[in-house]
Amino acid sequence: MQHRESDNIPSMKTALITFGVLSVVAVGAWYIAVGGGVPVKDEGVVCTADAMQCADGSWVGRSGPNCEFVCPTSSGGTGSVGEFWGTVLGSVLLGPSCPVVQDPPDPKCDDKPYKTRLALTTVDGARVIQEFESDAAGKFRADVPPGRYMIRSAAAANVLPYCQSAPFTVPVNDFVEVLVSCDTGIR
């Protein structure tokens, strides 16, 4: 019996298909094993890009599983920022709410508490340190590194109502109360 080359073609096709399938399975298994294929819940934490100035004057970003700021300590190690932070307690008022100021003042025209998004900035307003919101009663709290700041609207400066505080200093391990006035543009 004579052996022809065409008799080997079906077995070669089967071998090539089997090799191809096994290769795909092997590459897929390797891809999953190195973490590229199936996301694992709670595997990593992505922290916001906030920055904070430590008591020694250095700047740090958020890190670790709880996205905390960690500052160098005087002993050369690191410590939680809570050791050095201060707190800003504030109120936001929106006004004027009436176009004409009356004498005696009309209580209906008093400035009103205002819920809005605010930005804690450097005193010159050039760099945003942190953004936060006031509640419906116009109250807010922000824990920040000690330093000199001001608060303004988080929105662009040419959008009304525009909010701004006077410059203030946040003490170490203490709080400061701040009034933020928001201008409606009513005259």
Show Cβ contacts of residue 68 under 8 Å, excluding neighbours closer than 6 positions: 62, 80, 81
User: Looking at the structure, do residues 74 and 91 belong to the same domain, yes or no?
Assistant: no
Q: Which residue has the higher pLDDT, 173 or 47?
A: 173
Which helix H or strand E contains 16, and what residues bound it?
helix 9-33
User: Looking at the structure, do residues 72 and 150 belong to the same domain, yes or no?
Assistant: no
Asked whether residue 101 carries a pLDDT value surpassing 70, the answer given is yes
Instruction: Taking residues 122-141, report their average pLDDT.
Output: 92
User: Looking at the structure, do residues 93 and 160 belong to the same domain, yes or no?
Assistant: yes
Q: How many structural domains are present in the chain?
A: 2
User: Looking at the structure, do residues 101 and 128 belong to the same domain, yes or no?
Assistant: yes
Q: Which residue has the higher pLDDT, 58 or 166?
A: 166
> How far is it, in rounded angstroms, from Cα 143 to Cα 146?
9
Q: Which two tokens stand for residue 12?
A: 């070669």
User: Looking at the structure, do residues 90 and 179 belong to the same domain, yes or no?
Assistant: yes
Using CA atoms, how far residue 93 sits from 46, 80, 112, 163, in Å, is: 35, 34, 5, 9
User: Looking at the structure, do residues 107 and 174 belong to the same domain, yes or no?
Assistant: yes
pLDDT band, residue 105 (cuts 50/70/90): confident
Asked whether residue 78 carries a pLDDT value surpassing 60, the answer given is no
Residue 120 domain flag: yes
3-state secondary structure of 21: helix
Q: What is the percent of the chain with per-residue pLDDT over 70, rounded to a whole number?
A: 66
- Longest distance between any two alpha carbons in the chain, whole Å: 121
Residue 173 domain flag: yes
What is the chain's mean pLDDT, rounded?
77
Instruction: Taking residues 41-53, report their average pLDDT.
Output: 65
Asked whether residue 33 carries a pLDDT value surpassing 60, the answer given is no
> pLDDT for 161-181, tens place per residue?
999 999 999 988 889 999 999
Domain residues for the domain of 156 are: 86-183
Pairing of strands 86-95, 139-144: antiparallel
Asked whether residue 66 carries a pLDDT value surpassing 80, the answer given is no
User: Looking at the structure, do residues 68 and 122 belong to the same domain, yes or no?
Assistant: no
Q: What is the pLDDT of residue 153?
A: 94
3-state secondary structure of 130: strand
User: Looking at the structure, do residues 66 and 139 belong to the same domain, yes or no?
Assistant: no
pTM of this prediction? 0.56
> Strand (E) positions, 48-127?
51-53, 59-63, 68-72, 78-80, 86-95, 112-113, 117-122
Residue 19 domain flag: no
Q: What is the pLDDT of residue 133?
A: 96
Q: Is 108 exposed, middle or buried (0-12, 13-18, 19+ CB in 10 A)?
A: exposed
User: Looking at the structure, do residues 65 and 131 belong to the same domain, yes or no?
Assistant: no
